[in-house]
């Protein structure tokens, strides 16, 4: 019973652990990245759409990674190149992801 609980906890918390590791590396480099939740959301949406379109979980995972990388590149462009405020840019990406994902899911059905 306890073994199953620990196994399911590790399985379900893996994406959050990866996001926390990404946030740790961002903090070590001097960038405050609060857009991690938005990147996770867009990555999950990209993986779902990619899997639906290609019928392959591997290609769907690649699409999700690509979507997350694209959003991270947009965040990096604003924060590093254009020197925008890190907190404001992160909140904008989070709100964009939280708004676009349900909109696209509802309109695609």
Q: How far, CA to CA in Å, does 102 sit from each of 8, 51, 69, 72?
A: 27, 17, 20, 20
Cβ atoms of 93 and 38 within 8 Å: the answer is: yes
Q: Distance from first CA to last CA of the chain, Å, rounded?
A: 39
- Domain count for the chain, please give it: 1
Q: Which pLDDT score, from 0 to 100, does residue 109 have?
A: 55
* Alpha-carbon gap, residue 100 to 31, rounded angstroms: 25
Q: Which pLDDT score, from 0 to 100, does residue 42 have?
A: 95
Q: Which pLDDT score, from 0 to 100, does residue 57 have?
A: 95
Q: Which pLDDT score, from 0 to 100, does residue 92 have?
A: 95
- Distance of alpha carbon 1 from its chain centroid, rounded? 32
Helix/strand/coil (H, E, C) string of 52-68?
A: HHHCCHHHHHHHHHHHH
What's the pTM? 0.85
Cβ atoms of 34 and 90 within 8 Å: the answer is: yes
pLDDT string in tens for the chain (109-residue length)? 889 999 999 899 988 999 999 999 989 988 888 999 999 999 999 999 999 999 999 999 999 999 999 999 999 999 989 999 999 999 999 999 999 999 998 876 5
Q: Which pLDDT score, from 0 to 100, does residue 61 have?
A: 95
What residue numbers bound the domain in which 70 lies?
2-108
């Amino acid at each position: 019973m306890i073994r199953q609980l620990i196994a399911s906890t590790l399985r379900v918390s893996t994406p959050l652990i990866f996001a926390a590791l990404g946030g740790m590396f961002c903090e070590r480099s001097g960038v405050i990245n609060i857009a991690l939740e938005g990147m996770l959301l867009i990555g999950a949406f990209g993986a779902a759409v990619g899997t639906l379109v290609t019928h392959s979980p591997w290609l769907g995972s690649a699409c999700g990674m690509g979507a997350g990388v694209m959003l991270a590149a947009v965040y990096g462009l604003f924060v590093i190149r254009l020197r925008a405020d890190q907190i404001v840019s992160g909140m904008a990406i989070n709100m964009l992801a939280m708004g676009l994902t349900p909109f696209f899911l509802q309109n695609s059905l």
